[in-house]
Every structure is written in structure tokens, then in C-alpha cells.
Amino acid sequence: HAKHILIIGGGDGAMLREVTRHKNVETITMVEIDAGVVSFCRQYLPNHNAGSYDDPRFTLVIDDGVNFVNQTHQTFDVIISDCTDPIGPGESLFTSAFYEGCKRCLNPGGIFVAQNGVCFLQQDEALDSHRKLSHYFSDVGFYQAAIPTYYGGIMTFAWATNNDALRHLSSEIIQARFHAAGLKCRYYNPAIHAAAFALPQYLHDALSAQ
């Protein structure tokens, strides 16, 4: 089970809120480039973080994400890139330098996850991520989730690992882990988990053509 989690970005605290729900997690490190985002969201978006900034397992680091993953001596079981789109300050979190740094500080068997926009509108983003991530990880894929507040609605997320067994987890194992964790979610359940990895044919075709 994952015990040490790294969140890159995520200053609004929503990703942190969800990670703190997992009681087996021992440490949560969040690297945010802008301290002002964190202070603003703590004050004005309390429902997003739901008090998770005060979780004793949480550590906030104000730094550039690329710099952190290439310099830190810490290692992590899960790295989540909760970043903006690949323009402006968020562009560096879609580069080979960032992905290489993430591999560097990811524990053996760990997994990296990153948002990749709405594939119907931003297909090149997913293709570019797949091409770059494949240089550092033996297994790279995508899943999708409904994000109604984001233009286009169905967001795509890249995942990458050097643990090829993760792709083959059975539905029985996923269901058992979900019940053992005692999670009560508004959206996620084991059936949603399985469905998330069913990708549209146009994405399969585009990936095959690379």
C-alpha cells in the first residue's frame, strides 16, 4: 500500500483532501510554486481543502516542481501532478526534465499520475505525454473521469509505472481494497474504477499511430 505521497501543484487543497482520506498514508508532501495560492484557497475556498492543510501527515513545500523532483532526497510511492494546462507556469510540468525527475524520486513499484486535459479537444497533450513518459517508464496509459467544472467535461489522466503488474489488478482485488479502506465517496467506486480505463477509439488509434 502507498505510504508516501507527493502532490505537485494542487494549491487549492482538493487533491490533498482526497489523499488524506486514505488512513494507510503516512506522509503527504505538496509542492506548490505560489504560496499565495495556498493562503488564498485556505481562506476563501474552505470546502475545497476541508481542513486537510491541518493534517499532521502534511508538509507544504514552496518550490518549482521540476526543481523539487530533481533535487529532493525523499522518495515516494505515488506522485500526483495536479497542475494547470501546459502553458505559462504549468508548461514545465509536461517536460522530459520533469518526468525524469519524477522517475528519480519514485520508489520501485510506484506510480506517477498527471492530468492531461480533455482529450477530445486536447489530444496532442496526451500524445506528447505518452511519448515522453515512455522514455522513463515501462508501462504508460490513460484513464478518464467526469470533471463537470472543466471545459469539455471528460478529463484524461496519464499514469506511468515500472511495475507492469499494476495494469493487471483484478476487479476482485480492487473491490476488496476499496472495502478494506472504508472509503465513502461521492463519485468513485470499484465499477467506476474499471470503467475509467475504457478509452475512446480515437485515442487508441492516435496512440497506435505514434
Q: 139 catalytic, yes or no?
A: no
> What HEC string does 159-201 produce?
EEECCHHHHHCCHHHHHHHHHHHCCCCCCCCHHHHHHHCCCCH
Please name which of 129, 113, 116, 49 lies closest in space to residue 77, comparing C-alpha atoms: 113
Say how far apart CA 141 and CA 160 lie, in whole Å: 6
Q: Which three cell numbers stand for residue 110?
A: 510506484
Q: Which three cell numbers stand for residue 71?
A: 533535487
Per the residue annotation, which of 34, 82, 124, 128 is the catalytic one?
82
Q: Are 31 and 61 in contact (CB under 8 A)?
A: yes
Q: What positions carry a catalytic annotation? A: 82
